[in-house]
Structure 1
Amino acid sequence: MTAAEISRIAGVTRATVSNWRRRHDDFPAPSGGTDSSPLYDLEEVRAWLASRGQHTAATPSAELRTTLRLRERAGAGASDLLLMVLAAARRPADDLTGLHALPDADLVKRANDASAEVADVVPDTEPVRFTAADTTVLRALLLCVRDEGAQTALGVLAERELEDSAASGAYRTPAPLADLLARLIPGSPLRVLDPACGSGTLLSAAAARGARELYAQDSLPVQARRSAVGLTLTAEEGTDVTVRTGDSLRADAFPDLTVDAVLSNPPYGDRDWGHDELAYDPRWAYGFPPRAESELAWVQHALAHLEPGGHAVLLLPPATASRPSGRRVRSELIRTGALRAVAALPPGAAIPLHIGLQVWVLQRPEPDRPAHQSVLFVDTAGESTAPARGGSRAGAAVDWARVSEQIASAWTAYAGDPDGFEPQAGVARAVSVVNLLGEVVDVTPARQVRGSQADIAPQDLAREAVAAREGLASAVRTVGELASTGMWRAAGTSARVWRTATVSDLARGGALKVLRAAPGSAPGSSRTTAAEAKGVDTGAAGGSGERPPALTGSDIARGTGPTGRAPEAQAQGAHGAKGERGVQAERVPEIAVGDVLVRNLVGGTGPVARVAGEAEAGVLLGTGVHLFRPDPARLDPWFLLGFLSAEANLAGASTGSSTLHLSPGRLRVPLLPLAEQRRYGEAFRHVEALREQARRIGDLADETTRRVSGGLTGGQLVPEPTEA
């Protein structure tokens, strides 16, 4: 392991590790590497740290990452451990603790036996034979499954293999988006297929809505294996899971299968999809897809696997709706009634973040029923609440509650009565087939929804513009009042200096508790893996199903209510320098009034922290958030928020380069009397109110200018006459 890895597991800085190497003669000697980049034996380092009372500060998932990196340097991959994750997940926590404590020889035998019992679940897997060299990684995996859940362990195992696979076009599907796509399938389909399954996120969302036969295929073996394990772990008892490896277009593993529904986020922009060898394939019932139209090949592949009347929902790039080369296929999809709806998502909803992807809803025509005579278009592309940045997480800039409700409610109303669908001004509109089958055949939602102003009454738009303007004026007045009220003054000729204590010390003394949700099992995870940063679908197959909403780090950054889902993992205490585990009894902590919530990814834009009020009381703690629960007799929550979220404090307690991960136990808080804390708390409360109103002004200004400009250019509004 490297010096950087030593600093992570010990919970110290790189400089501290360098000091240990210089000052302590008994510090382990390098076991490899070079003079400038030495490598150390993990067990020797751990023994040395233990001899000094310096126990690990790394989470179980971080420990697993470290042991996997060392294992890979020895030439062994991680795929053989997938079976062990499934075997471990089927055992209670006490059994995993017992396995962890076994001697090496016994652990190896038990691991081989347990993996053999579940070998039939994972496709294309060679028989597993662990050896004594694998005991370190096996123990790390057992602890990760026990403390953070099997889905987190699956994500860690898949990271390196996904990075090495150079998986072009394999994009992460955020869990809220997977839920939305599953909601768009009418009724309760029992048999569902995903021909480009990734980690199984979409099928998991379908299973949460009642699907009991899940079929999946992926060209990446690591994704197929991970999907098989993940779906087996999360699907209800009695659900049949069938996963195959291979390219669905070139080597369809289910050639004779027809299902009730297809859900898929297929690869985009693939010019090598099999155009030449598949020229006479019977799947092209709506026209042979041009070489540049791989997405239309996936559309027809999905339709070919549906029962008559069955539905498919696909996530596609916006160019699919308008490229001239795909005009003939689009025309046939519309003419036959196969294309039912197209909905535009905001930029940042899923990778690639810089474009607004589209959701296509399709239905296989029924022979004895007339073709549908209209197509629904929904445009939510303006619903992003923050600019999408290349380094941000997929879905972090989207108000999922609003976007999902707009799309799902419009589709439900339209599917129930296409002829009687009432247009929603600027959002949703049904367009007749006759009007779509022109020279261009462009099914871009913005073109169809915003291109027509006939649906918007001038009086309605005028009322909306006036309401937005009045809200903006009210917010400006509030900011002026807040800005004119001074709650601070100069400290004197020099800055004030005080004694501080770390959060770890305060927690040990009982002044506060620190909780967090286990990372990696729900949206807004507190760790963005390298694979996720590259756009690979690493979403947990657990989906969100019917689990209650949870407040995530993205919600704090956006200033919204809870939009995530509760992770299926136990809460854990935050680790201080000595790494106390502090595992709580409840599976997922509930937020209480007065809790201080700090998001783990401290970079980017938007607030870093908030104090929980009545609106958050009882909401579950989501991933990407550290919860600080102060003893009100010893710590004021607003005082705590102000100092915990200070830039210098966060910088000193974070690790990483481009993405900073917070180590909460290293944050520092001044030791002040409670009365003085409350004075600081009131000042911080005032600052936060000013920040919130300033943000609201920006949102209202955007809304006002959009409505007025649209009304002026659309003919609903006219300028006031000027005096002569």
Structure 2
Amino acid sequence: MTAREAVPVSLAEIARIAGVGRAAVSNWRRRHDSFPTRIGGTDVSPQFSLAEVERWLRDNGRLGDIGGRELLWPRFEALGSRNESGLAIAQAALLMRSPRTRTSSADLSAQARDLVVRTAEVGREAGPRETFEFLLQRWLETHVRQLSTTPPQLAALMARIALAVRLGPARGGLTLLDPACGTGHLTAAVIREHDRLGLEVLACERDPALAALAAGRLGFLAEERDVQTRIATADTLRDDPFAGAKADIALCNPPFNERDWGYEELATDQRWTHGLPPRTEPELAWVQHLLARLKPGGAAVVVLPPAVASRRAGRRIRGSLLRTGALRAVVSLPPGSAQPHSVSLQLWILRAAPDGPAAAPPDQNALLVDATHFARSGTREPSPDWDGLGSFVLTSMAALDRVDQAPPEGAVRVPLLDLLDDEVDVTPGRYTAAAEPSREEIAVEWGNFGALLTDLADHARHLSALDFEAGTSRTVTTVGDLAKAGALTLHAGRQPPESAATARGAHVRLLTIADLLHDGTPHGAVPADSAPVVAEKGDVVVAGVARAFKAWVHQGPPMALGPQLYALRVDTEKMDAHFLAGCLYAPANGRQAGTHASSSSRVDIRRLQVLQLPLEKQMAYAETFRRLRAFEELLTAAGRSGRGLVGDMGDRLAAGGLTT
């Protein structure tokens, strides 16, 4: 980028560079005549010269700690090409690791090569791997509609399954194959999960930019561990660069529904031992490719769309996979596990037959696992409960080869005779339907429901007996004023970095707004030593968004808070935490402090009002607030229990057998 070519940045990008909110940048623009003038855009969305913005931020001491990396990204965007920007980021990663590397790639313009050198200089100062991961994440977010990536949580789960299902001795090196590696999410997960020495990675990707970025990502990981990587740029099905290799484990998230996968030219390929995949079944070509590249006893895990389990065109191949024991298990994932997020994708767990005289005959059962119930409802975008999903699937896999160990509810061993019918449908939901509740189970449910009603009635008697004086004036203060007076300290939660999802070491649970909208239980986790904000026992936690507005006293253990969640730590000599939470939780309080009328609007925590009372009078209010919260929890539990009874009784009645 020459000095004559200005790189445009928006107000939001300036805010990211400076590490502040957009409102702060707007204030700077109004208050400082020296702020750069607009070079483009509109009055509503103005654009400014990045060079002028950088100079102004430095001169005024406004450049944040992350400014160096943030200043790079607009320059990559200005390259204008997805491929060139991706190749430039990958080349910068190589230069950061090997300073003597030449950057005269024929695929890069002079402008891009200059940016590569600048990026390497910033990376050596700010951290090479951190700088690369930052730029890679921005690149993926920018081109999300053109790319299909594997979330790190799903990649880690697939790696654990493959390592657990593989047969054979654990000693010695391990060979991993990913024939459609993208930017290396799956291979990186195996490197993190494989705790033994000696790992060889064979990865292939037909998109040159993605292959280069995968090489950059794996290069950093290989420096930390005993890992050898070979990454090829090729169309795996048509021209496999690892045709003579055999892998211990294989992971794959292949492209879906591609009709032009090589049906005509590959019709006689030796990989199709279970039958030539129909033109409309490219996913079954990937399945057979993986099996052909596994060592005896090797395991593969592949992400597939749900239609592959039931489409009529593929029933003959599915039948062969089952009869030979190659298809060991199918797992139905909850929507949101990977792109496309609206679909309940599946994991197919494959295993090559072991060799030698001790090789056992194929198992006469297949394990089908329905994990769709780990979807979290109440969120705008589908999102799984990753902790619960991972634990459930791995527990199910532990019963794969143990006929004496029953799989958990939601997973079932299905005899091959039941699967090898005219349809050969291996969709788990067809075989994992819950059994009808017994008479004894329903009796227990009615007993629990009655106990809840008794407790509800007790709280209702106490709460209904309360009286309130009419016409009394009240004195209130705000959270902002209480913070200024030192009665409490306010801490705002933040989004943890993506790398925290797979980091090792002690973790604390992470609560997000999506968790509150689902069931209120934290489903994520972050490293304890890098959690942005941690709520301790006795802190008041407040959700600062209208659709999930809530305030409560955290009872422990320590819990990290995500965006739009706040921890209020009170001075116990000035304020009671339960009194504060009760005042804040009033629905009218949240509406009054809301910034807009919509349910997705933000609640200004500092504007929330609190009764101004001495500490001794707060105690009486605090006790009543506790009882009111207990009444609310019992009411929710009774509703859930009652709905369960309605469903179970309906099933029993529909099955007949009613005695009159």
After TM superposition, the score normalised by the length of structure 2 is: 0.77
- Written as runs of structure 1 = structure 2, the 5 A alignment for 1:565-576 is 565-567=525-527, 570-572=530-532
C-alpha distance after superposition, 1:374-420 (max 9, x if no partner): 21222233343525x5x42532xx3x444433332233223133xx4
SS of alignment partner, residue 521 of structure 1: helix
Aligned to 1:299: 287
8 A Cα contact 2:302 2:349, kept in partner: yes
C-alpha distance after superposition, 1:186-220 (max 9, x if no partner): 25582222223344333333331436223323344
- Is residue 224 from structure 1 mapped to residue 211 from structure 2 by the alignment? yes
8 A Cα contact 1:191 1:261, kept in partner: yes
Which residue identity does 1:413 align to in structure 2? A
Deviation at 1:175? 0.6
Q: 1:60 aligns with which of 60, 66, 72?
A: 66
- The alpha-carbon distance between structure 1 residues 129 and 4, as it changes in their structure 2 partners (threshold 3 A), is closer
Deviation at 1:326? 0.8
CA–CA separation in structure 2 for the residues paired with 1:50 and 1:502: 33
- Is residue 550 from structure 1 mapped to residue 509 from structure 2 by the alignment? yes
Aligned to 1:69: 74
Deviation at 1:128? 9.7
- Written as runs of structure 1 = structure 2, the 5 A alignment for 1:165-564 is 166-167=146-147, 170-175=148-153, 178-179=156-157, 182-183=160-161, 185-186=164-165, 190-207=174-191, 208-210=193-195, 212-234=199-221, 236-366=224-354, 369=359, 370-386=361-377, 391-392=380-381, 394-395=383-384, 398=385, 400-417=386-403, 420=404, 422=406, 427-450=410-433, 461-479=438-456, 482=459, 485=463, 498-499=477-478, 501=480, 511-512=489-490, 516=494, 518-523=496-501, 543-544=502-503, 548=507, 550-553=509-512, 554-559=514-519, 561-564=521-524
Higher relative contact order (CA 8 A, sep 6+): 1
CA–CA separation in structure 1 for the residues paired with 2:419 and 2:306: 17
Deviation at 1:721? 2.5
- The alpha-carbon distance between structure 1 residues 443 and 355, as it changes in their structure 2 partners (threshold 3 A), is same
Aligned to 1:632: 571
CA–CA separation in structure 2 for the residues paired with 1:613 and 1:172: 35
C-alpha distance after superposition, 1:117-150 (max 9, x if no partner): 49699x9986998787789877876787599786
Deviation at 1:339? 1.1
8 A Cα contact 1:5 1:66, kept in partner: no
Aligned to 1:721: 659
8 A Cα contact 2:149 2:185, kept in partner: no
8 A Cα contact 2:366 2:415, kept in partner: yes
CA–CA separation in structure 2 for the residues paired with 1:312 and 1:291: 23
CA–CA separation in structure 1 for the residues paired with 2:580 and 2:262: 59
CA–CA separation in structure 2 for the residues paired with 1:146 and 1:178: 24
Deviation at 1:325? 1.0
Q: 2:138 aligns with which of 156, 162, 169?
A: 156
Deviation at 1:372? 2.4
- Is residue 612 from structure 1 mapped to residue 536 from structure 2 by the alignment? no
C-alpha distance after superposition, 1:262-316 (max 9, x if no partner): 1223232333333333222222111111222222122112111111121112222
CA–CA separation in structure 2 for the residues paired with 1:668 and 1:84: 50
Which residue identity does 1:613 align to in structure 2? Q
8 A Cα contact 2:306 2:427, kept in partner: yes
- The alpha-carbon distance between structure 1 residues 403 and 128, as it changes in their structure 2 partners (threshold 3 A), is same
8 A Cα contact 2:91 2:116, kept in partner: no
- Unpaired segments of 5 or more residues in structure 2? 1-8
Which residue identity does 2:538 align to in structure 1? G
Deviation at 1:245? 3.2
8 A Cα contact 1:81 1:157, kept in partner: no
- Is residue 39 from structure 1 mapped to residue 47 from structure 2 by the alignment? yes
Aligned length: 627
CA–CA separation in structure 2 for the residues paired with 1:592 and 1:22: 40
8 A Cα contact 2:476 2:612, kept in partner: no
CA–CA separation in structure 1 for the residues paired with 2:626 and 2:377: 24
More moved, 304-313 vs 341-350: 341-350
CA–CA separation in structure 1 for the residues paired with 2:482 and 2:49: 31
- The alpha-carbon distance between structure 1 residues 10 and 422, as it changes in their structure 2 partners (threshold 3 A), is closer
SS of alignment partner, residue 227 of structure 1: helix
- The alpha-carbon distance between structure 1 residues 496 and 662, as it changes in their structure 2 partners (threshold 3 A), is closer
8 A Cα contact 1:152 1:520, kept in partner: no
Aligned to 2:4: none
SS of alignment partner, residue 536 of structure 2: coil
8 A Cα contact 2:87 2:213, kept in partner: no
8 A Cα contact 2:579 2:625, kept in partner: yes
SS of alignment partner, residue 229 of structure 1: helix
Deviation at 1:332? 0.8
SS of alignment partner, residue 480 of structure 2: strand
Q: 2:86 aligns with which of 71, 74, 79?
A: 79
Tell which structure's C-alpha radius of gyration is larger: 2
Which residue identity does 1:431 align to in structure 2? V
After TM superposition, the score normalised by the length of structure 1 is: 0.71
RMSD: 4.7
- The alpha-carbon distance between structure 1 residues 314 and 135, as it changes in their structure 2 partners (threshold 3 A), is closer
- The alpha-carbon distance between structure 1 residues 480 and 24, as it changes in their structure 2 partners (threshold 3 A), is farther
Which residue identity does 2:440 align to in structure 1? R
Aligned to 1:101: none
SS of alignment partner, residue 68 of structure 1: helix
CA–CA separation in structure 2 for the residues paired with 1:562 and 1:5: 31
Q: 1:29 aligns with which of 23, 37, 57?
A: 37
- The alpha-carbon distance between structure 1 residues 416 and 340, as it changes in their structure 2 partners (threshold 3 A), is same
SS of alignment partner, residue 308 of structure 1: strand
C-alpha distance after superposition, 1:58-110 (max 9, x if no partner): 7838x8456523552365864366458758xxxxxxxxxxxxxxxxxxxxxxx
Deviation at 1:691? 4.8
Which residue identity does 1:216 align to in structure 2? A
- Percent identity over the alignment? 30
C-alpha distance after superposition, 1:502-525 (max 9, x if no partner): 899689x983555656432244xx
Aligned to 2:538: 594
CA–CA separation in structure 1 for the residues paired with 2:331 and 2:506: 26
Aligned to 1:105: none
- Unpaired segments of 5 or more residues in structure 1? 88-111, 524-542, 573-588
CA–CA separation in structure 1 for the residues paired with 2:352 and 2:268: 20
SS of alignment partner, residue 368 of structure 2: strand
